[in-house]
A and B are shown apart, each in its own frame.
Chain A
Amino acid sequence: MIKSFLLLSIAIFLASMGFSQSNIVLDTGKMILKYEDGSIFRGHLFRGDGLNWPMLLSTGDTIRISVFKVEEYLLDDEVYFFRKDKYQLKKGYFANFSWSFGGGYLNITSQVDLTFGWTHSSRLFLGAGFGGGYSDMYLSSQWIDHEYWMPYLYGRYHLNDNRVRFFLEGKAGMAFLTSSSGTYSGGPYLHPAFGISFASNSRFKWHIAGSQFLVNVKGSFEGWDSMGNQNVTYKYNVWYNRTLFQIGLSYIITKSQLRKNFF
């Protein structure tokens, strides 16, 4: 049953690459194949007759690949290959989880974001997501804290295609406050970042970044002040503007993998 499914998958894969049911031998390009038993093969795969296809290795040798035994594969036009089977996404989909935090001794910000998106081009990734977090600020002996969640649109542009990819990233959305003191409301949310993404040999990729976190919050509350005055009414319309350290983990999947795994 499983083998039948694999066969079907390979067939779909071939069809998606534009092959016709002809005897024309076509190069799939550089790729990495992984067998069910864990064996990994790297080289150029050529479509052959039947279910045993030739693969040209970098040594110049040719081996035969049994398509029945292929469990996983990566294609040259969907990922960037690096040493030790590490790769970066070129074409496909991703889900990013990131945690940003920072602030001073008077105030802190902690923010988690979950983003889903696709590769618009090999360098430009687009998507959307939602985040949630906590920030506080200090006003004349009073700490006022805000909890919020925010939907946003997402974009990331990679500056290079190396094993360590530098990127510029941006999130833009609207923050909705869920908790604070007195009356409160949220506003625009902007979160640009500059970071680096590390290649790996799995679908999970780590990244770190320095980001600038901006959220507009408005409200008023009753409190006291540093002079001992009671019944003080505070009003504020403030942008949290904080440089944060961000650490994140991305799950990537190429279009081929998506088709193979889910269709």
Chain B
Amino acid sequence: MKLTAKTIAASTFITVILTACTSDFGTATKTYTKATAVYVNLEELRSATLVAHARDIVNPGKIFSSEKLLLIGEEGYGIHVIDNSDSQNPRIISFLEIPHNREFYVSDDYIYAESAYDLLKIDVRDPRQPQLVIRLKNAIAEPMMNDKGEAIVGFEYKQVTEKVEINDDSYFEEIVYFDFQNELIPPSAVPASFVGNSAGRIGVANRIVEYKGYVYTISQFKLSVFDDQDQLAFVTSTYEGAGDMETIYPIDDRLYVGASNSVTVFDISTPDVPVYFGSFSHGLSCDPVLPINENTAYVTLRTGDFAECPGNENALLVLDIDESGGMSVVQEFEMNSPFGMTLIGDLLYVGEGESGLMVYDASDRRSLRRLKADDSVEAYDVLPHPTNPNMLLIASPEGLQQYRIDNQMELLLISQIDF
């Protein structure tokens, strides 16, 4: 065979053409948590009867306490109404059907509760006859509808293993991914926590609060304001200042927002126009904020082997807030797994989940001193009883417990509502 230019050209052409051939084979899988959208008919959801028969507490969420009344949220379904006139024998008397509710807040015998896209105001001056005052439709977000006219209200998550096509270029197709929980109010990072009590004490893990006639709500990236001086009405929303927001706390014309990587403060001296005041950045963590006064706040940072706040930083921080909104750490305590906290007198109680309850001397608000670590109780969140200063309410993995505190700071269990 003679070597000719044609031979070389043909051979080269064939080999170059062949180089485009890729036919990898074998198996490839991916295992992940698959989100499947959950749709509901909003009209059916909105037509649910408000007051229903009492039912067992299965998956508790937010807790509100007054002298004679306990409200315990049932995650996704509504609120249990509990007669606590006899604190040694609390009794469930009814259930408020609020579909897709997780967060609520109580102020002056009114409940402000979210129900998927809506914000509800419920009159509970007579706990046996709660009345829906107003349903503000689509107050939280504009509904996303499917072809059947149903609105998405969340996702169901399930771990799946699926086959992956090798070298499939269809994966290049542009996919619009929208995390709907950025708009709606997502689940709390604290399994069971206090809304507050009738004495005006506010919990540290709220996503809805009321302050001076205005209601503030936070979703993951949006702070919304509602005017409730006359009739509840939407005012404004802002995405400024914070991302991945988790908790909100109003005090002294300021709104403290705890996010997974920061604490952000808004000036709400003009309540319907929150103005960014300052922020403090920290590592990724779940972080309820307890502002004490205009220049001091306590922050707990909780991380662990869970999706919301992965990491290994667990601490209690004392923050200094200067006049210009700058924040810095003045004291830090290493902790195991801090959730909620409350200040009772000069004592700061911090729930550490299954690791117990920590007590600090806070007589000097900016120089805490660790007094006691009580691992006999498990505590997600802590709040004082609204009328009895010697009683402590603890939300634990087992249920809601009411304790009496003796002079040695020992806790004496009075009653428990099992979850």
Given A164-B1, A239-B26, A241-B22, A138-B32 contact (CB < 8 Å): no
Q: A3: CB under 8 A from chain B?
A: no
Contact flags (1/0) for B8-50 with A, using CB distance below 8 Å?
0001101110111111111111111111000000000000000
B172 surroundings in chain A (CB, below 8 A): 141
In the complex, 19 of the A-B residue pairs with CB atoms within 8 angstroms, ordered by the A residue number, are: A102-B21, A137-B24, A139-B166, A140-B165, A160-B1, A163-B3, A210-B15, A210-B19, A225-B32, A235-B31, A236-B26, A237-B27, A238-B28, A240-B24, A241-B22, A242-B22, A243-B18, A243-B22, A246-B15
CB of B221 to closest CB in A, whole Å:
16
Contact call B28/A138, Cβ cutoff below 8 A: no
A164 surroundings in chain B (CB, below 8 A): 1-3, 7
Identify the closest chain B residue to A229 (Cβ). Answer: B32
Contact call A241/B171, Cβ cutoff below 8 A: no
Nearest 3 CB-CB pairs, A to B? A102-B19, A238-B26, A228-B177
The A97-141 residues at the B interface (CB cut-off 8 A) are: 101-107, 137-141
Given A138-B171, A198-B3, A209-B15, A234-B30 contact (CB < 8 Å): yes
Q: B167: CB under 8 A from chain A?
A: yes
Contact call B1/A107, Cβ cutoff below 8 A: no
Q: B168: CB under 8 A from chain A?
A: yes
Contact call B169/A227, Cβ cutoff below 8 A: no
Given A164-B1, A227-B177, A232-B26 contact (CB < 8 Å): no
Contact partner of B21 (CB less than 8 A), chosen from A101, A238, A242, is: A242
Q: B405: CB under 8 A from chain A?
A: no
Q: A245: CB under 8 A from chain B?
A: yes
Q: A65: CB under 8 A from chain B?
A: no
B175 surroundings in chain A (CB, below 8 A): 226-228
Bound together, the chains give a CA A229 to CA B34 distance in angstroms of 8
Interface size class of B (residues with CB under 8 A): 35 or more
Q: B164: CB under 8 A from chain A?
A: yes
Contact partner of B28 (CB less than 8 A), chosen from A103, A196, A229, A235, is: A235
Contact call B171/A140, Cβ cutoff below 8 A: yes
Contact call B167/A104, Cβ cutoff below 8 A: yes
The B97-134 residues at the A interface (CB cut-off 8 A) are: none
Contact partner of B29 (CB less than 8 A), chosen from A103, A106, A210, A235, is: A235
CB of A194 to closest CB in B, whole Å:
9
B173 surroundings in chain A (CB, below 8 A): 226
Bound together, the chains give a CA A243 to CA B14 distance in angstroms of 11
Contact call A244/B25, Cβ cutoff below 8 A: no
Contact call A226/B171, Cβ cutoff below 8 A: yes
Residues of A within 8 Å of B, CB-based: how many?
A: 44
CB of A250 to closest CB in B, whole Å:
17
Q: A22: CB under 8 A from chain B?
A: no
Contact flags (1/0) for A32-55 with B, using CB distance below 8 Å?
000000000000000000000000
B307 surroundings in chain A (CB, below 8 A): 231
B24 surroundings in chain A (CB, below 8 A): 107, 137, 238-242
Bound together, the chains give a CA A103 to CA B20 distance in angstroms of 6
Contact call A101/B25, Cβ cutoff below 8 A: no
A163 surroundings in chain B (CB, below 8 A): 2-3
Q: A180: CB under 8 A from chain B?
A: no
Q: A202: CB under 8 A from chain B?
A: no
B27 surroundings in chain A (CB, below 8 A): 236-238
Q: A28: CB under 8 A from chain B?
A: no
Bound together, the chains give a CA A78 to CA B316 distance in angstroms of 85
Bound together, the chains give a CA A232 to CA B32 distance in angstroms of 5
Q: A181: CB under 8 A from chain B?
A: no
Q: A162: CB under 8 A from chain B?
A: yes
Contact call A210/B171, Cβ cutoff below 8 A: no
Contact call A245/B32, Cβ cutoff below 8 A: no
CB of B180 to closest CB in A, whole Å:
12
Contact call A245/B166, Cβ cutoff below 8 A: no
A237 surroundings in chain B (CB, below 8 A): 26-28
Q: A208: CB under 8 A from chain B?
A: yes
Given A164-B7, A241-B22, A245-B19, A140-B164 contact (CB < 8 Å): yes
CB of B13 to closest CB in A, whole Å:
11
B2 surroundings in chain A (CB, below 8 A): 162-164
Contact call A208/B11, Cβ cutoff below 8 A: yes
Bound together, the chains give a CA A164 to CA B7 distance in angstroms of 10
B164 surroundings in chain A (CB, below 8 A): 139-140, 234, 236
The A161-182 residues at the B interface (CB cut-off 8 A) are: 162-164, 166
Contact call B25/A241, Cβ cutoff below 8 A: yes
Identify the closest chain A residue to B27 (Cβ). Answer: A237
Bound together, the chains give a CA A160 to CA B3 distance in angstroms of 13
Q: A233: CB under 8 A from chain B?
A: yes
Contact partner of B167 (CB less than 8 A), chosen from A102, A137, A216, A244, is: A137
Given A137-B167, A225-B30, A234-B28, A243-B11 contact (CB < 8 Å): no
Most chain B CB within 10 A, of A140, A163, A225, is at A140
